[in-house]
Structure 1
Amino acid sequence: MASGRKRSAPRRPSGERVTKRPKLRPASAFQYRALIPARHEIRLLEVLPARPDSRVTARLFHVSLDDTPQFDALIYGAELLTRFPVNRNLRRALDGLRFPDRPRVLWIDAICINQADYAEREQQVKLMRRIYSAAQRVCAWVDHGVVPTLRVFDDLQRLGESVEIQDIYDPEYWYPVADIFRNPYWHRLWIQQELILAQHIDVYCRRHRFNGQKLLLFQQKAHDGTFQPSRVDDPRRKLRTYMKGTYDKEGRRAETKSKENLRLNIEARDRIRQLCLTKEHVPKKVWEDLLSLYRSTNAPVYADVFYGGISQAKRAISWAQQRSQDSSGPDLPPEQQRGSLLALFAQSRSLMMTDPRDRVYGVLGLVTDTDPDAVRVDYAMPLPRVFSQVFQLYIRRYQSLSFLCKSNDLAGECLPDHEFPSWMPVRQGTVSATIGASRASGGFKADNARIDPETCILSAEGVMVDAISFVGDREPFGIQPVTYWLEKLEHYCRRVWPASGAGPLYEREDVTELLFPLMTPGRHRRTWRAEKLTPEQRLDTVRSLIRACSRADRRGFSVSDAVYGGYTPVDLLTLDQRMRCRQLHATLLDATFLGTKGGRLATVRIDDATEVGDQVWIILGCNMPIILRPVEGTHGDRYSVVGPVIIQGLMDGEGVRGLSMTDEGQISRECLRRIELQ
């Protein structure tokens, strides 16, 4: 965007005039006047009226957000850059949004922020919530062509009133609307934040404007029930599949990759089943390669969105903000906080962004449990130090180390150019439901935990309670024959309890408990639409699978078969038993069994690199037992974090019971060791 000598409107001394020419120019070539942070100043762009496809003429001027200025905000899909980014997409947006008969005042981050001034960028990032909340209207510009005369767009305007998605049996009828959401635009981190903050949204598909509220309602209704059982012929299932999977995190088309993943996944699953049935000796490397192929091709290739969609995120953030201002109600556990800095940081891991630091800076406008001013915005700061702020603020706010309970997802975002501490789950998913159901540290908080801002070493207090004696094979039991993995499980039980009498030992109550999801009763009802299984129901589920194996016509009957069907006779399992098998299947696909020197059976995530000799610790402020590995040459006070463990007898605080207590009911410090996690 260059400045010309001839002006289509009088020069205004208080403003900075900008005109559009075909060639781009560095931001440094344009003289921005400095903003005044104390007045919460921003720049606005006044786009002068003109006919379509003519030269865009505009001026920049300063306003204070404290004076309630009138403006609209444009979100056109560019990240904060270091050059004046008047690209073709922005040129189209300015041309399509300007009025023919009067000026239009817009806020556009790429123009209204001096991208060459890092201090200004960092200051303006913290104003994002106020800017997008103050805008009269947010214009979401999607570079996507539509045919607005199609009847489906008329039905879109009546959605939620006289029309519902499932009213029309053929989901392809809705594809012209769904196509709008297949654009990578919706998976950009900054756009997610800006749309969630917006009060009123107009969506522009090039020159065609749509009611943003109706479009976001369509997104919400298409995704409703994603994690709930639904009819196979429900049109929303096919519509959801169509809306997802078009682009991966880098914005590349991923449909071909999805089909290839499905083919490889089926091949790996069939090969694993065949090897289990033949019972031949299988080299460890073969198992590892097959397992790696199966798990990597089983992962989705599409990016996530905050809370499943813009409308859901708006409600979640609004609810959390209201709750944070209401001091009369009880505090929610950290893992249940909506809009927490840690939760938003975790959810942003697969969204599209130019700079990974925006996983922190790009969500500050949504945060409900942290003062954004407490976060140092510095794009020159090393990435591990930027991320460590999230966890240090979490410790300060909650006196909790529950983030140690979430293992790094090896299939998630990878940042090979940066070295992160082992305790920092930079690729973590959302907080696991298991964390809320465990009370390993007995309610004691991490009051003395801290993170060194320079080295990023986490200091904590804890007690070692056990050590790993063996690690079972990392195999996907959910797709393996039931008889095969039950034999393996019986073998593991015999190694832990060699003096036990006749079995089967896998029918023990404490063993079947490991086979099903560990959740609080309330979370279990919300997730599975059923009450938690009793010990008797768990045992009945396992025995019903054994009976089904003897009657099924499919050789190598698996839990996966029980869940998805496809076998005869069809009445091998009751509907209730099949629903219980869904829970068993979810656990077995992601669990590796291990034993401890203290005679305990446990499970870890199948990807966790647990080794014999690793130690089991209870750390104050951490809900789950954690496996640590001593760092050589550090005299036993420095460890690396391997991951959380579900282990019998330690999930309810038994690990800290019996320790010496002070008169105030606190653990005597002599019973604890102060350790460093690197």
Structure 2
Amino acid sequence: MNDPEPCRYPACYRPLAPELIRVLELEAGNPLDPIVGRLVHQTLDGESYEAVSYVWGDARKRRDVAIDGVTLSVTANLHGALTAFRHLPLSGYSNSVRQVRRLWADALCINQGDLAERTSQLELMGRIFAGARRVLAWLGWEEGEEGRQHALTAIRFIHSFMDDPDAALRKARILLLHHDVSVTGPASRLAALSEDDQRQFEEQARKWEAVKIFFDIEYFHRAWIVQELGLARQAILYTAPKSADAAEVGEDHYHHALELDFIEWPLVGKFAKFLDFRGASLVTHLGLLSWIATHIVLVWDKKENGTPACDFLTAMHWVRILGVTDARDRVFSLMGHPLAVMDGHLVIKPDYTVTRGVVYTQLAANFIRKAKNLFAVSLVDHEDDPSAEAKDWDPHDDGRMPSWVPDWHSINRTTPLDYPIAAAEAEDTNIRIQGDTQGARGTPLPHLLVRGWVVDEISAVSRRMETTDFPVTHLARERAKENPFWLDRVWELVFPAAGNDGSLEDRDALAVLEALSLALPFGTREKDQPVSPIGPQQTLAEHRRSFAAYVLRYHELRYGVSSEASGTGDDEDTCGCYLPACSLYGSLPAEVQAELRRRAEGATGGSFLESMTWPSMCRVVYRTASGLVGMGSRVTRPGDLVCRVRGSPVLMTLRRIEDVGTGQGGGTDAAPISCAFIGPTIVPARIKKDAIDGQEFGEKAAHFRIV
């Protein structure tokens, strides 16, 4: 469905009756034989078939196939999949019997030149993959002997790793303990390790490099595979050692059947999810893209009672990082999700005649109206500052949409803000969407009218946090980070030294520290609270111990700088560009230091690090005018407002703008505050169990008009 220039195929495509599909009956053949087959019509529950999951690849690289006596052009990647799968043994048949293989592949089984047919078949895609006997996922050809060795190493390693994942993860941590080997050169650093450590390091490095290459395969980075794998009764990933162009190799190479390497998708998904929950620091250190597979798993997770654990909008958020040729397919490629249906109807009908901005706005508006809440808005993750002015629809501007609508086509690098305690009541029947969502040229973009309270105004904002900043390492590594000594720098911002901000001098350092520690991992979860999909979250008691140990590790690194720097010819003066004046711990009152030492006894900072890595990624920490600590969107700026809004599960960051024609903004019932939506946010000190009314905190009531 994502061919950028679909060909209008010949008349061999007889019109399809409603609810019917075409199936390709693929003839057997040797690798160099042409692809030959025929298309037959059938109902979804008709004769058994297998569905092919693949990526289109470069649309300019095409190969011919013969279908019903007519020559058709398909991408080289689909040609490779058909070449490989016609050799795959059929279940229930003798290997000596070469049978016709019944396959469904979108590029051939849908007339790509007929927009009406493409749209109608798109609505059936979920049922097509769910109804297939199995899904054959084609990863592509293995390039050369080295390529095959990487694939085999990765597949075998994933199998062995999942036999005892905890033990395997412990072995892999040698790559973290000696990460400077790969940074500063193996010749000098590796020699300093014991022979056993050298052997283990080299073995782990080789295996994890193969895993890295495995998850770099293009297949894992396309949005359409999400429902193709997720809906499958059985999904198997295949690759084969063969040149992309068989003619280059010669016939002598193909006297035997292709050897296919394969691994079952559920095992790959479990492997990736385990790493994300238990080894986030390893994933980020090695630059693994395994977390993309985790996103696919999260889309299809189920509760204990068998119902979907992931709602449709969150599924959209998880898939944002995956590629599509047409931005509208970010919605349409998930139409097979069980929660893509509300009140017996699809949440939105596929429509390729309007812009992505219109599609996304209609989707968000439908959920807001039906659910009477603002959960859709909490998934906004602006890549750049949103427009701070009211605009009209423009059919030539594909990305034009209101600031309160998630742009699912922008780069997503954050997890959904999943705080365990609600900031406001779950629903509000007074939420209004004012204006046109149809995208008619020249009509104003719709505004979102909501009510709530102003919590505070943001006064200072940190640099954007990166996952590579979080591990506590050594001086050389710290210097190379985007934000060296990031925790100490954040503390300088949220708790400025006495005299730098007189209005904040009376704050309780331990209370501020706890607020910061709870913001970074999205709070804690007690035993009776639901597990978060973003990774492990500790109980409050566990969290306090682990965070204290983490703070002390940064302190030890900071005050070990003098001796380490002297060994490299550096000194503290030359470290001034990245070395904080004082560590977080060193700046605390003596009684708070004693409390942290007590909490940290016998603990390590590893659990806190694993818990906060994904939540804090690409977000910022801020301080408000009254000294509150929060974490929010990367586009947050001083002057933005932190607000509690009825119907929103989390606090919001809003940016005041010039009035849009409804009177001057002032927070009264007659004049709502006109603003742009910046993103969801959390301020732990203002999020308390059963406290969903801002009046409990003395916050100012207000109405908001969000453009």
Q: Structure 1 length as normaliser, TM-score? A: 0.66
Is this contact kept in 2: 1:486–1:506, CA < 8 A? Answer: no
C-alpha spacing 1:349/1:508, structure 2 compared with 1 (3 Å): same
C-alpha spacing 1:658/1:115, structure 2 compared with 1 (3 Å): same
Which of 81, 92, 95 is 1:93 aligned to? 81
For residues 437 and 211 of structure 1, what CA distance do their matches in structure 2 show? 40
Alpha-carbon displacement from aligned partner over 1:321-346 (angstroms, at most 9, x marks no partner)? 9544xxxxxxxxxxxx7332111211
For residues 405 and 584 of structure 2, what CA distance do their matches in structure 1 show? 34
C-alpha spacing 1:609/1:81, structure 2 compared with 1 (3 Å): same
Question: 1:209 — aligned with what?
Answer: 260
1:197 aligns with 2:231: yes
Counterpart residue type for residue 76 of structure 2: R
For residues 385 and 363 of structure 1, what CA distance do their matches in structure 2 show? 17
Question: 1:519 — aligned with what?
Answer: 523
Is this contact kept in 1: 2:382–2:635, CA < 8 A? Answer: no
Pairing of 1:62-77 with structure 2 (within 5 A)? 62-65=41-44, 67-77=45-55
For residues 9 and 372 of structure 2, what CA distance do their matches in structure 1 show? 45
1:112: how far off? 0.7
1:175: how far off? 6.3
Which of 1, 10, 13 is 1:32 aligned to? 13
C-alpha spacing 1:524/1:47, structure 2 compared with 1 (3 Å): closer
Question: 2:193 — aligned with what?
Answer: none
For residues 78 and 453 of structure 1, what CA distance do their matches in structure 2 show? 33
Pairing of 1:265-414 with structure 2 (within 5 A)? 302=289, 305=292, 307-308=294-295, 312-313=297-298, 317=300, 319=302, 323-324=306-307, 338-368=309-339, 370-371=341-342, 373-410=346-383
For residues 530 and 272 of structure 2, what CA distance do their matches in structure 1 show? 24
Alpha-carbon displacement from aligned partner over 1:230-257 (angstroms, at most 9, x marks no partner)? 9x9xxxx58x977x65xxxxxxxxxxxx
C-alpha spacing 1:504/1:539, structure 2 compared with 1 (3 Å): farther
SS of equivalent residue, structure 1 residue 224: helix
Alpha-carbon displacement from aligned partner over 1:73-110 (angstroms, at most 9, x marks no partner)? 22232189899651333233333333684322211100
Is this contact kept in 2: 1:600–1:648, CA < 8 A? Answer: no
Question: 1:114 — aligned with what?
Answer: 111
Question: 1:187 — aligned with what?
Answer: 221
Counterpart residue type for residue 292 of structure 2: V
1:26: how far off? 3.5
1:54 aligns with 2:30: no
Which of 463, 467, 470 is 2:452 aligned to? 463
Pairing of 1:237-636 with structure 2 (within 5 A)? 237=282, 302=289, 305=292, 307-308=294-295, 312-313=297-298, 317=300, 319=302, 323-324=306-307, 338-368=309-339, 370-371=341-342, 373-410=346-383, 418-426=399-407, 427=410, 429=412, 435-446=418-429, 448-450=431-433, 452-454=436-438, 456-466=445-455, 468=457, 470-472=459-461, 474=463, 479-480=484-485, 486=491, 488-491=493-496, 498=503, 505=507, 507=509, 509-510=511-512, 512-517=514-519, 518-522=522-526, 527=535, 530-533=538-541, 548=556, 552-554=560-562, 555=572, 556=579, 576=603, 578-579=605-606, 582=609, 590-596=619-625, 599=626, 601-605=628-632, 607-612=634-639, 614-628=640-654, 629-634=656-661, 635=663, 636=665
Counterpart residue type for residue 632 of structure 1: D
Is this contact kept in 2: 1:202–1:211, CA < 8 A? Answer: yes
1:41 aligns with 2:20: yes
Structure 2 unaligned spans of 5+: 63-71, 88-96, 173-199, 241-257, 386-395, 439-443, 470-482, 563-571, 573-578, 587-596, 666-671
Structure 1 unaligned spans of 5+: 1-23, 246-301, 325-336, 563-570, 660-670
Is this contact kept in 2: 1:81–1:110, CA < 8 A? Answer: no
Question: 2:675 — aligned with what?
Answer: 639
Alpha-carbon displacement from aligned partner over 1:310-369 (angstroms, at most 9, x marks no partner)? xx45xx626259544xxxxxxxxxxxx733211121111111211111110011113436
For residues 542 and 160 of structure 1, what CA distance do their matches in structure 2 show? 28
Alpha-carbon displacement from aligned partner over 1:39-79 (angstroms, at most 9, x marks no partner)? x10011112344442233222121111x4321122223218
For residues 380 and 348 of structure 1, what CA distance do their matches in structure 2 show? 23
Alpha-carbon displacement from aligned partner over 1:413-466 (angstroms, at most 9, x marks no partner)? xx9952232112324859857543343324443563447423552433213435
Is this contact kept in 2: 1:73–1:137, CA < 8 A? Answer: yes
Question: 2:100 — aligned with what?
Answer: 103
1:394: how far off? 2.8
Moved more, 516-525 or 629-638: 516-525
Pairing of 1:5-16 with structure 2 (within 5 A)? none
For residues 629 and 137 of structure 2, what CA distance do their matches in structure 1 show? 50
Counterpart residue type for residue 361 of structure 2: S
> How many equivalent residue pairs?
547
1:657: how far off? 5.3
For residues 300 and 498 of structure 2, what CA distance do their matches in structure 1 show? 46
Is this contact kept in 1: 2:135–2:234, CA < 8 A? Answer: yes
Is this contact kept in 1: 2:642–2:653, CA < 8 A? Answer: yes
Is this contact kept in 2: 1:625–1:650, CA < 8 A? Answer: no
C-alpha spacing 1:508/1:580, structure 2 compared with 1 (3 Å): same
Superposition RMSD in Å: 4.9
For residues 107 and 540 of structure 1, what CA distance do their matches in structure 2 show? 56
1:151: how far off? 8.4
C-alpha spacing 1:35/1:656, structure 2 compared with 1 (3 Å): same
SS of equivalent residue, structure 2 residue 653: strand
C-alpha spacing 1:528/1:317, structure 2 compared with 1 (3 Å): closer
Counterpart residue type for residue 139 of structure 2: V
SS of equivalent residue, structure 1 residue 73: strand
For residues 676 and 417 of structure 1, what CA distance do their matches in structure 2 show? 24
Is this contact kept in 1: 2:636–2:653, CA < 8 A? Answer: no
For residues 687 and 404 of structure 2, what CA distance do their matches in structure 1 show? 20
Alpha-carbon displacement from aligned partner over 1:167-226 (angstroms, at most 9, x marks no partner)? 99524358667755432112211123212222223443243334542x652563366233
Is this contact kept in 2: 1:593–1:604, CA < 8 A? Answer: yes
Question: 2:706 — aligned with what?
Answer: 677
